[in-house]
Chain A
Amino acid sequence: MPPKAVAEVTIDIDPATYETQNVHAIYDTIASHFSSTRYKPWPIIAKFLSRIPDGWIGLDSGTGNGKYLSLDRDGKTWMVGLDRSINLLKFAQNAGDKAREVVLGNVLDHCWRTHAFDFAISIATIHHLATPSRRVLAVQRLLQAVSPKNGRVLIYVWAIEQDELSKRIIPQGERNETRTGQDVVVPWVLSKSNIAQNPKSPRDSREEVYNRYYHIFAKGELSALVSQAAAGLGLTIGSVVGQPSSTQGVEILQDGWERSNYYVELRRWSI
């Protein structure tokens, strides 16, 4: 497949409306085709899930077709999947040919008992939010979802540093210098055979192109986002060691890059 061109965009309308049109509606349209291309877990995420203790329950916030819901260590752990696309959830509902728990909702909302989960993952989701403050809120929702004592969070977003195997071409420019990332649209080409499976799409053209919105993260931007989110909740950033009593905080256990994505692993602590 030839590399696909990515185009810079400026968001000049209400961000919620923008996301509805340029993210949610598109995933609902391409769900079937998209799901057929999303089956292989990324190594960092598989490793994180393989180390989750027995009996822990997790939230997969932005579960998509639910491919991570199956990584439950043969039922020793358990996850519920949240997503904004009903059509993707129809796939997630039976991920790995087992009945899965899924909820239609927005990652900016908090539709849970606070701190009900032991862990939460947010994979390739926060980069679909159209403003910095919405991305901060999404991280805060994850921190609120997990236990304040030892809750774990893994966040994975699209990086400005692409590996050689990437199918994307990122627009050149100041991208290596920027710390604020870049707003772009990435085309999804739905071929005629895939359109035929989706009665809502037009059938007269050979293929349809859907431009999904992404915020491509700059180096260091994800950990800065986490710090801002934590500060907004009154949480200390850093290790629990040497902290005064009656404090709550978040430690960044890992901050790295894998296959065109940045990730952070977080641990909440209370003393």
Chain B
Amino acid sequence: MVRLVTHNLLACHAKDCNTNNFPLVFQNVQLEIREAEFNPGFIQSFLPKIEWNALVKTAQELGDTSLPIDQPEMIDDELLKNLHHVLFEIHIVEGAMICPNCKHNYPISDGIPNMLLAEHEIA
């Protein structure tokens, strides 16, 4: 499944696309919400590695506005629960991810994103 935890790591890698190639923008998506085991310890240590602005923007585009625009310094239970939901419980099953720069379309099918490029698109 593509969840936002993975989306936060992916970037466009098409030939000559080196700037503004992150985050990819979801398009025509089909979502599924599935409960996952809450693991606050992991989220807390993972937090510094998240690209916060990309996560908040993407969550909002998918209709989840539970995260504050600015990354809070204080980490409380409510924030960890909201992060847990956004990162691990929203599954993107079908749709596509579009590069904000070169508009390359990475399709998602049965929960698997296809990051392959055609020969002429490879850097």
Contacts and interface: CB of A to CB of B under 8 A. Distances in A.
Interface of A: 16, 54-57, 75-78, 80, 84, 86, 89-90, 93, 99-106, 109-114, 116-118
A103 B37 contact: no
Contacts of A114: 11
Range, interface on chain B: 20 to 34
Where chain A touches its partner, the secondary structure class is loop
Interface string B46-89: 10010100000000000000000000000000000000000000
B115 A105 contact: yes
Nearest to A89: B112
B22 A113 contact: yes
A43 to B, nearest CB: 25
A89 B13 CA distance: 21
A76 B41 contact: yes
B49 A109 contact: no
B42 A103 contact: no
Contacts of A104: 112-116
B102 interface: no
Interface string B102-122: 000000001111111101001
Nearest to B88: A99
A113 B111 contact: no
Given A99-B36, A101-B1, A101-B6, A57 B46 contact: yes
Contact of A16 (B6, B22, B119): B119
A113 B9 contact: yes
19 contacts: A54-B41, A78-B5, A78-B42, A78-B46, A80-B9, A102-B112, A103-B115, A104-B116, A109-B122, A111-B10, A111-B11, A112-B9, A112-B10, A112-B11, A113-B8, A113-B9, A113-B10, A116-B9, A117-B9
Nearest to B121: A109
